[in-house]
Amino acid sequence: MKKILSVSLATVLVASTLPSLSFAATNVGQGEVTNVVPADNATNVDRNAVLEAVIKDPNGASLKTVDFMEGFTYDYASSNAINSFYGVSDSDPLTSPLGGSAFTDSHKANAAFADGKFAVTDAEGAYPFHRFEVDVSKHLESGNEIELNWQGKTLAKGKLILSAWDYTASKWVVLEEETANQGGNIGFSKVVADSKFFQKGKMQAMVHDAAPAPEAVVDNSKFTMAWFTDTQFYAADKPEVWTSMTNWMIDEYNKGRFGYVINSGDLVNLSTDLDQWAVADENLRRMDEANIPYGVMAGNRDVVNQDTMEIDYTNFWAYAGKDRYEDRPWYGEQMDNNRNHYDLFSFGAHDFIILYLGYGKVQEDETIQWTNQMLAKHSDKNAILVVHNYLSPGGFRSKDGDYIFANVVRKSPNVKMVLGGHYFGADREIRTVTDPDGTTREVLEVLSNYQGKDGAEGYMRLLTFDPATDTVDFDTFSPYYNDYNYFEGDSDDFTEGYKLEPTEAVEVPAVRQIATDYVAVNVFTDDVIGSVSNIPSGNKASVEWNELDPLTQYFWYINITNTSDQKRTSEIYKFTTNDAALPDPEEPEEPGDPDPEEPIEPTFPDIVGTNYEWALEEIEAMVARGIITGHENGTFQPGNSIERQHVALMFTRAMDLNKVVAPTPFTDVPTTLRYYDEIMAVQQAGIVEGYQNKFRPYGKMTRAEMAKVLVVAFDLDEGGTHPFTDVPANHWAAEYIGPLYAAGITEGTGNNKFNLEREVNRAEFATFMYRALKYKENN
């Protein structure tokens, strides 16, 4: 039998005997292996499967051998043990420890097949990465090649790096790197063999985008803001109109159509009507949840009590006060609980301050003083003023407008646009202002108010800035009517000059991307299913793979050797069997076990008629298998405690042991010892570790030690607990006794006791080992 390592055993069995390969054997090219049966990912395959493929040598040479081999794949299509993580690192991920967030279900689905669906992580001015953790402890065997396979893409200027985590040095080690060269798919295929890349049977790999650092460029990319205003009648009578606007803003923001939203007041029609405020709150809440950057301000309808005509901000503060916005990253400073405030937002290299002045107190000295201080504080930014009552149809400013123009606009050189609502209509004016240094600037003043009159419901504006032409283009659209422009002429749709600062070259953050199409860890074992020899190139080769388990996924690949001894290896294919019954063969007697129907003829004279006759069947089965032979005087001495050297001897007779750890000589096991080779074999197989460099070959084995060596050697992973009250949860052997009990190998010594330190006699150990053998054969 071939010994497979358990997860717990892999803590000491790092792949010291794995081949020191750097790359996998040369893979077959396109068209060299075709007509594969069963097809990759096939289901409902017969349990007596026929594997076949048409094999073509690239040089037309005949094929000396075609070996069909067992493989294994860890990937999301197979639901085998693979964990993936995504993240963004401010510094090069190669200098960072392990990290990231677990792949979502969507990530996993997109990375399950090489089908052009990608698990994508983007970053601006940072490094996106995907990290993969795979437990390969059950395949760390000499002769197996463990290959990391990754397929995906990055951006046109991207550079993808594949690395593996070095557990010894605690750092990432670069394995391969590929430059995108204007896009296209990238693939990595790398055999990982060095023991430093494994710990507790796990390996870690990472792919990240290391695109070039930011460059200083002139950013002339267009960008857009949205603007809606005077929704008062929608809050009062037609909430469905406002809903349509909010739906559209959420959808278009998610599509990247605009980056910021302006509101210029009159959210509701009656400031005292809480039902109307509820409509406003619902729409603002949905924008909050969509993470849309936006700013609101109070219009006259929001704060003027229509009964007393006094200004009262109580409800505005309740629904749109500073508490709603102060944790938002774009929200700047405010005055009087958001009566006045500004937002800071950037589009590429262009920084904006959007400053809102609430209705009713714009002419007060404290408002003017605060406004000028904030604009001066951010004098390097493009400033947009938002004032509810500023411009009327015909291009005339209101009294508030005249006051703001004289005391703010003229004194703040960075103000080049003022937006307002209040009056029904759409108009604009361009004012030329001379600044104290003698330079002039143009200020664009715009009125926008549709208010739902005469079929004007739901119209809002889109402001698209073009740094290349120093212009801003206004478009008007109603999501409610799916219609552009309400007024005639160019009142709705127009383009005016708007000079943005800065226009010089600035450092634009590098945009990077990692997109995983498929990720897998492939195991190319050295287990041969079957071979075909001496076939011409282009012919079909086939072998049988019989008596497969039902509803089980199997993996296989093909090794090809031509007459020139050139070797090629195919990819790994997978299929799943059906649950149909196998044909009933003549069941041969199980080799090495006695016929249960015939009386047992005892081998040893000291079993029958003694207190150990209960173990007669197991002892005779172990004799039939050649695992025990008894003492030289022909007795078995079942009641004697078993020596540790005899345990080693039995393991070497019971199974084929793989050497999976380096030999570690014991100080009390000289090379002249009778069972030196057997003791070293179980040590290199990872079954025993010794203590303080000693093995104690003549020492007696306790029941606790017996539990560990059996669980480790036979890879017993049966879940469950045990009923033994004398096994503390923190005892070193507790983790082995549970699986031993769950597998039915031990029942304890009675009264829910296990007796950890009691020595195991020879009859007991023979019985326990036989049960373990049968359990593994049956499972």
Report whether CATH 3.60.21.10 matches the domain 223-508: yes
Q: 287: helix, coil or strand?
A: helix
Reference 472, options 384, 553, 532, 395; nearest CA is 384
Residue 75 clears pLDDT 60, i.e. is over it: yes
Q: What's the confidence (pLDDT) of residue 292? A: 96
| Per-residue model confidence as pLDDT tens digits over 597-606 | 556 778 999 9
Q: How buried is 211 (Cβ within 10 angstroms: 0-12 exposed, 13-18 middle, 19+ buried)?
A: buried
Contact 62, 535 (CB under 8 A): yes
Euclidean distance between CA atoms 409 and 456, whole angstroms = 31
Q: Per-residue pLDDT tens for 273-323?
A: 999 999 999 999 999 999 999 999 999 999 999 889 999 999 999 999 999
Which single residue is written with the structure tokens 């072998």? Answer: 543
20-48 pLDDT, tens digit each = 322 334 566 555 899 999 999 999 999 99
What is the sign of the dihedral through the CA atoms of 625, 627, 633 and 635?
Answer: negative
Token pair belonging to 767:
């019985």
For residue 558, what are its two tokens? 């093909």
Q: Are 567 and 559 in contact (CB under 8 A)?
A: yes
Q: What is the pLDDT of residues 343-372, one digit of tens each?
A: 999 998 799 999 999 999 999 999 999 999
Contact 525, 72 (CB under 8 A): yes
pLDDT tier at 93, thresholds 50, 70, 90? very high
% of the chain at pLDDT higher than 70: 92
Beta bridge partner(s), residue 203: 134
Burial class (CB in 10 A: 0-12, 13-18, 19+), 30: exposed
Both tokens of 5, joined, read: 């390592």
Judge contact between 621 and 763, C-beta under 8 A: no
Same fold, 82-213+510-519 and 223-508: no
Residue written as tokens 């052997």?
A: 733
Q: What is the pLDDT of residue 403?
A: 97
> Which pLDDT does position 28 carry in this prediction?
63
Cα 471 off chain centre by: 43
Quick one: CA torsion of 295, 298, 302, 307, rounded to 10 degrees? 170
Residues 6+ apart with CB under 8 A from 642: 700, 701, 759, 760, 761, 762, 764, 765
Instruction: Give per-residue pLDDT as tens, 190-212.
Output: 998 888 999 988 999 999 999 98
**Which residue, 264, 259, 97, is CA-closest to 169?**
97
What would the two tokens of residue 594 be? Answer: 């006695």
Whole-number Å distance between alpha carbons of 31 and 53: 11
Question: Which of the four pLDDT bands, split at 50, 70 and 90, describes residue 130?
Answer: very high
Q: Model pTM?
A: 0.45
Continuous segment of H or E residues that includes residue 249 = helix 239-254
3-state secondary structure of 169: coil
Q: Which of 677, 737, 694, 679 is nearest to 712 (CA)?
A: 737
- pLDDT over 70 at 593, yes or no: no
Side chain identity, residue 390: Y
d(CA 460, CA 241): 12
Q: Report pLDDT for 506.
A: 64
d(CA 92, CA 94): 5
Summarize pLDDT for 414-424 with one digit per residue, the tens.
999 999 999 99
- pLDDT at position 778 is 84
Q: Which of 1-5, 533-537, 588-592, 711-715 has the lowest mean pLDDT?
A: 1-5
Position 21 scores a pLDDT of 29
- pLDDT level of residue 234 (50, 70, 90 thresholds): very high
Determine contact, residues 9/29, Cβ cutoff 8 Å.
Answer: no
For 555-576, the pLDDT digits (tens) are 999 999 999 889 999 999 999 9
Give the residue carrying structure tokens 């004012």: 431
pLDDT bracket for residue 689 (50, 70, 90): confident
The strands making up 49-55's β-sheet, listed across from edge to edge, are 33-37, 49-55, 539-545
Gap between the Cα atoms of 35 and 522, Å rounded: 22
Point out which residues pair with 437 in neighbouring strands: none
For residue 44, the Cα-to-chain-centroid distance in whole angstroms is 31
pLDDT of 592 > 60? The answer is no
In angstroms, the CA 670 to CA 677 distance is 10
What does the DSSP 8-state code read for residue 670?
Answer: -
Provide the pLDDT for residue 586.
44
**Nearest to 369, CA basis, from 340, 343, 389, 398:** 340
- Integer Cα distance of 325 and 267 in angstroms: 16
Q: How many CB atoms lie within 10 A of CB 366?
A: 11
Q: List pLDDT tens digits, range 694-710.
A: 888 888 899 999 999 99
The SS3 call for residue 160 is strand
Q: What is the pLDDT of residues 237-274, one digit of tens each?
A: 999 999 999 999 999 999 999 999 999 999 999 999 99
Fold of 82-213+510-519: Jelly Rolls (2.60.120)
DSSP bridge partners of 466: 471
Give pLDDT tens digits for 428-477: 999 999 988 889 999 999 999 998 777 899 999 999 999 989 999 999 99
Confidence band for 596, pLDDT divided at 50, 70 and 90: low
C-beta separation of 211 from 459 below 8 A:
no
Find the angle CA(673)-CA(679)-CA(680) to the nearest 5 degrees. 105
Q: What is the pLDDT of residue 472?
A: 97
Residues 388, 390: Cα–Cα separation, whole Å: 6
User: Whose CA is closest to 462, among 300, 297, 248, 289?
Assistant: 248
- pLDDT, position 9: 23
Look at residue 716 and tell me whether its pLDDT is greater than 70: yes
Question: Which amino acid is present at 350?
Answer: H
Q: What share of the chain has pLDDT > 90, as a percent?
A: 64
**Whole-Å CA distances, 154 to 160, 182, 189, 212, 312:** 7, 9, 17, 13, 55
CA angle 758, 760, 762 (to 5 degrees): 155
Residue 748, phi-psi category: left (phi > 0), alpha (psi -120 to 50), beta (remainder) = left
Domain ranges within the chain, ordered by starting residue: 82-213+510-519, 223-508
343: alpha, beta or left? (left if phi > 0; alpha if psi -120 to 50): beta
- How does residue 411 score in pLDDT terms, banded at 50, 70 and 90? very high
Helix ranges (DSSP H) in 485-528: none
pLDDT at 214: 76
Secondary structure (DSSP) of 105-159: HHHHHHTSSSSS--EEEEEESSEEEEEEEEE-GGG--TT-EEEEEEEEE--TT-E
Mean pLDDT of the chain: 88
Q: Is the dihedral of CA 329, 280, 287, 450 positive or negative?
A: negative
Nearest to 37 by CA among 46, 27, 28: 46
